[in-house]
Structure 1
Amino acid sequence: MSDKRVVMVVDMQNGVFATPRRQQQACVAKVNQLTQAADRVIFIQHEEEGGLEADSDGFALLPDLLRPDNALYVTKTACDAFYQTTLEQVLAAHEITGFVMCGCATDYCVDTTLKVGASKGYRITVAEDAHTTANRPAAEAETLIAHYNDVWRTLTVPGNPVSVKLVETIVKQWQAN
């Protein structure tokens, strides 16, 4: 499965989006473009007290998100989707060594999972227009998204650079192969 088209969708849950996120519907549409073009989709869902309890409405994925029948699901309790989860076992069982990342929140769970995953040797491409976050006290969401796209483009992981591409570019490359 290492050469297959795999998308990891992070924390696109009702409870996460209870806090307003930048261009929620546009982000969902871009995520759906990826999941429709992918061979395999992995949904990462955050679980914690305060509205993200397992099996709660807050824990559920956003209703407009497309869910392929063969999708895989991993629950996490930290910003890092690799921390004390089954993610590495799921990736190994399906022979996945690289994936496209998208989801929420850019500056927390997407960023942390991306950096840990790249350090573990996974080939990661970020869909630069398919992740979102909220406005923060220090910076607006739009600034944070642009900032993290730039950080990821220049992230130093010798021998395993992170790619940052538009959804349209990713899908076109997949269709060409």
Structure 2
Amino acid sequence: MDAMLVVHMQVGLLGGMPKHDLHGVVDRINRLAARVRAQTGKVILIQHCGGTGDAFEPLTPGWQFLPEVVREAADIIVPTTLNDPFAGTDLQARLKELQPDRVLITGWATDFCVDSTVRSTVAHHYDVVAVADGHTLSDRPHLDALSIIRHHNWVWSNLITRRSIKVAATDELLP
């Protein structure tokens, strides 16, 4: 059984610079999530909770999940305040209860929250699949978004770990 983490796909991410292939990423997240649910897996949405006045302040429009991201009643929501969704949350307890064979990781932003999630999930002793075309970010002042995505996919596929880590495109994961 798979668990799928959807990291910070919230309205607040729409501010600022455009996100690389956002509509494609959302489509791929939705297709993978449907597959995970159909195989009795669990989709876990990681929801960033910012401070007062922040673009992700709880109960404000920016805090809401993107309306294009398909959610179902059985999905689990884990609120976070940091890049690492295990820090100060019940994510570890939820995953321990589910006992997934592997954890698929998608979301925003590749170089911050998604990277922290990949590394922390491996450190918490889970086999990880980083979905190569399932994460996004904006161009940074020093590097374009596509280069950052390629770089992180390469780094994740070369991490030294005692658990399995695989970087795979959506089409490789869907039959």
| 1:35 alignment partner AA | A
Partner of 1:142: 146
Pair 1:85-2:82 in alignment: no
Give the structure-2-normalised TM-score: 0.92
CA RMSD of the aligned region, Å?
1.1
Which residue number in structure 2 is paired with residue 25 of structure 1?
A: 23
- 1:160 matched to which residue of 2? 163
Partner of 2:66: 62
Match of 1:47 among 44, 49, 52: 49
Structure 2 unaligned spans of 5+: none
Work out the number of aligned pairs and report it.
168
Report which stretch shifted further, 85-94 or 33-42. 85-94
In structure 1, runs of 5+ residues without a counterpart are: 173-177
Distance 1:170 1:104 in 2: 20
1:6 touches 1:40 (CA, 8 Å); kept in 2? Answer: yes
Give the CA deviation at 1:95: 2.6
The question of whether the paired residues in 1 share the 8 Å contact of 2:2 and 2:101 is answered with no
Once the two structures are TM-superposed, the CA of residue 86 in structure 1 deviates from its matched residue by 1.1
| Aligned-partner Cα distance in 1 for 2:28–2:166 | 17
- Normalised by the length of structure 1, the TM-score is 0.91
Q: Deviations over 1:103-144 (max 9, x none)?
A: 000000000111111012111101101100111111000100
Counterpart amino acid of residue 15 in structure 1: G
Partner of 1:16: 13
CA distance in 2, matches of 1:51, 1:140: 23
Q: Pick from 73, 79, 98: which aligns with 1:94?
A: 98
Cα separation, 2, equivalents of 1:103 and 1:85:
18
Counterpart contact for 1:124–1:163, Cα < 8 Å: yes
Q: Distance in 1 between matches of 2:30 and 2:63?
A: 19
CA distance in structure 1 between the partners assigned to 2:165 and 2:67 by the alignment: 30
Identity of aligned residues (%): 29
